[in-house]
Amino acid sequence: MSYINENDIKLAEAQYGIPETRETTLAMPEHEFSMVKASQRHGRAHDITVFIAKGGHFIFNAKHWYPPGLFRAPSGAAKPGETLEQGCIREAWEETGCRIRLLKYLLRIRCRFICKQRHIDWLTHIFLAEYLEGDLHQIDTKEIREVHLVHPSEIPAIREAMRKSDSGGMQYRAYLTDEALAIINLGSRGSELGRR
């Protein structure tokens, strides 16, 4: 049982709205499945992903092992005792060096990661936020290599790079990026968000 429970989710919904929901499954190679398993300290079975709007762009980042040109929305886990909101704000700070204001609870994805006869049930919480202040740079230099301001026109190439990756995790990142951006609807609101 994950330490993020129904009460935590209801609190986030009360503050930021009821998200759309999706369900999917994803096959993972052994080494990635083992990495997810190792991340499950304290019963963790979730991640939070934050799409941060700034001046018609999104703030993405890259881990050290990402190939050049591949970036993703900041993500991580709420720590035990943190709300989803607190986890989003802390992860955004650690991975981008900026302060944010959450705007909307966009999407909740239930995913079953599969490897041979084993599986892990996972929950992804996706939020939309706006940039408030801060120089864009990684605070957590152990995990994050660089921070990048991404124009919406760059995102199709980034998603394609994710899809071409051998990584099951990157396939999942491509999926959740597509689903989140479809909800954000860049055509109608993207230019209005994060003008700071």
**CATH code where residue 173 lies:** 3.90.79.10
Instruction: Look at residue 85 and tell me if it is in a domain.
Output: yes
Could you list the residue range(s) of the whole structural domain that residue 78 is in?
Answer: 6-184
Q: Is the pLDDT score of 88 beyond 70?
A: yes
Q: Is the pLDDT score of 188 beyond 80?
A: no
pLDDT-derived band at 186, boundaries 50, 70, 90: low
Least confident of 71-80, 105-114, 138-147, 177-186: 177-186
Q: Is the pLDDT score of 187 beyond 90?
A: no
Instruction: Look at residue 111 and tell me if it is in a domain.
Output: yes
CA distances from 55 to 1, 85, 116, 149, 188 (A): 39, 22, 44, 9, 15
pLDDT of the residue at 40? 92
Least confident of 8-22, 25-39, 98-112, 175-189: 175-189
| Whole-model pTM over 0.85 | yes
- Better-scored residue on pLDDT, 192 or 173: 173
pLDDT of the residue at 22? 97
Mean pLDDT, the chain, integer = 91
Paired strand residues for 59: 52, 149
Mean pLDDT within 96-111: 98
Q: How many domains does the chain have?
A: 1
Instruction: Look at residue 194 and tell me if it is in a domain.
Output: no
Instruction: Look at residue 13 and tell me if it is in a domain.
Output: yes
> For strand 57-63 and strand 46-54, is the pairing parallel, antiparallel, or unpaired?
antiparallel
Among residues 107, 98, 159, 123, which one has the least CA distance to residue 3?
123
Instruction: Look at residue 195 and tell me if it is in a domain.
Output: no
